[in-house]
Amino acid sequence: MIKHSLSENLRDTVPPTTGEAKPAPVQRTCIMVLGMHRSGTSALARAISLLGADLPKNMLGANPTNETGHWEPLRLMELHDRMLAEAGSRWDDWRPFEPADLGTSRLRFYEAEIERLIDEEYGSAPLFVLKDPRISRFVPLYADIMKRMRVDVRYVLIERNPLAVIASLAKRDRFTMCFSGLVWLRHGLEAEHATRGRPRVFLSYEDMLNNWRNGIEAITSALGINWPHSEMEWQTALSNHFSENHQHHVASAYQLEADQDINDWIKQAYRAVRALEKDPTDGAAMLQLDTVRGAFDSLSPVFGDAFFSELSARERAAAERFELQRHAADQRMAELEETCIGAAARETQLTQQLRNLQLLAVETAAREADLMAQADHEAQRANGAEKRVQDLIEESERLKGESERLKIESSRLKAESERLKVESECLKVEIHQIKSSFGWRVTYPARCLMSLPRAFTRWRKRQS
């Protein structure tokens, strides 16, 4: 793997000697935020932007593990990952990383790409903030690029209690305590060592949350920055920005020292960095960090190369298994898609049949309604006919009774007629006998005289 010399420091940044053209005066300033992943680099980068430093045009967005945003250049981050992978490393590697191991041509390629992306992301901004935790492991590479670009770089190194970082990585990436601790150690050691002799300031994430004003004052004082925005502009914004609601994992220095599972190198390094927060020139603290770094580097080639080689082999095997599973899943998906297509066609067919049945049902319902109406009409007619028949029956019965009565009356009248007829015959005989008698003939003149007054009276009435 990559070899690293303990005595190597930040590359010389002294201007060219006599005979070479002097570089133009620095017109741009980059505030570079360095620190371990999950250590508050995002919150700090955003805070510096609220003071007036420009952010990159294309940033890694927010996600459930960083709800307020990452505030780092997405394209540079992706380039860093490609560069690390090409050198046999990765973002969570705790071994030293030496860009020169890429080879001259590939190193020049990545340097040119980094320079191009910085220009594209920040343009001619006089003050900008650059943050990607990966840079902590190759600060000298960026120092050389920025020097060629005539950009003045000033560093802000932010640390967080390793226990809190370990807890955060365990939740997000399911890293073990020992692994996360070594990654934290490598980022902190490399960032501190590479920025010696450069304008820098050390901050604590926990202290920034408790009293961010002191942290801003420390940055302003140590780096000599004149912020583009006035204090009135950023006071409220920073008050709202720094919130303990976003600190999901908290640990104290006492808890760190008392934890027997944490390696002593990590505890020593954390104490030394906290000392550098108070005095960035603390020689004892830097010596302590060099001691830890030397011991760590001496073991990394032995254990680190074996560990990451095995890890890479297992990841490749897992990737192959995943590819086989993915291929099988793709085949199954293709089969399911065909099944779905057939099912969709069948569904379309059934849907059409259902529509036809629904139309038939509507027509049947309409026909049924017509038949019901006709049945009601016929029933009403039947009821009327039945009533008429009943009336006729009753009328027939009545007429039948009347006929019987008339028959009885006719019989009675017939009998009466016969009786009268007999009586008439008797009277005729009797009248004949009277008229044939001698007395009737003798009294005829007298009856004529007696009838004269009545005849005269009738004549008078006719005359009048």
Lateral strand order in the sheet of 151-159: 127-131, 28-34, 151-159, 200-204
Reported as half-sphere exposure (CB side, CA atoms, 13 A), residue 269 has a value of 30
Give residue-wise pLDDT tens across range 35-59. Answer: 999 899 999 999 999 999 999 999 8
- Stretch (H or E) spanning 128: strand 127-131
Return phi, psi of residue 191, to 5°.
-65, -40
Q: Where is average pLDDT lowest: 10-14, 132-136, 236-240? A: 10-14
Q: What percent of the chain has pLDDT over 70?
A: 86
pLDDT of residue 364: 74
Mean pLDDT value of segment 73-98: 95
Q: Quick one: pLDDT at residue 28? A: 95
What gap in Å lies between CA 261 and CA 253, rounded to an integer?
14
* CB burial readout 122-152, b (16+ within 10 A) else e: beebebbbbbbbbbbbbbbbbbbbbbeeebb
Residue 22 has pLDDT above 70, yes or no: no
Element (H, E) at 398: helix 305-435
What's the pTM value of the predicted model, to 2 decimals?
A: 0.65
User: Lowest-confidence range among 30-44, 240-254, 373-387?
Assistant: 240-254
Q: Across residues 344-353, what is the average pLDDT? A: 81
The CATH superfamily assigned to 29-281 is: P-loop containing nucleotide triphosphate hydrolases (3.40.50.300)
Write out the two tokens for 393.
């029956």
Assess contact for 293 and 9: CB atoms under 8 A: no
H/E stretch holding 156 reads: strand 151-159
State the pLDDT at residue 448: 74
Q: Where are the domains of the chain?
A: 29-281
Residue 312 predicted with pLDDT over 70: no
423 pLDDT band, cuts 50/70/90, is: confident
Of 93 and 412, more confident: 93
In angstroms, the Cα distances linking 302 to 95, 180, 295, 307, 360 are: 10, 19, 12, 9, 83
Per mean pLDDT, which range of 108-122, 125-139, 336-350 is the poorest?
336-350
Stretch among 15-24, 94-103, 110-119, 370-379 having the lowest mean pLDDT:
15-24
198-225 per-residue burial string, b: 16 or more CB within 10 A, e: under 16 = ebbbbbbbbbbbeebeebbebbeebbeb
pLDDT at 172 over 80: yes
Question: Lowest mean pLDDT: which of 49-58, 226-235, 254-263, 303-312?
Answer: 303-312
Residue 316: predicted pLDDT: 67
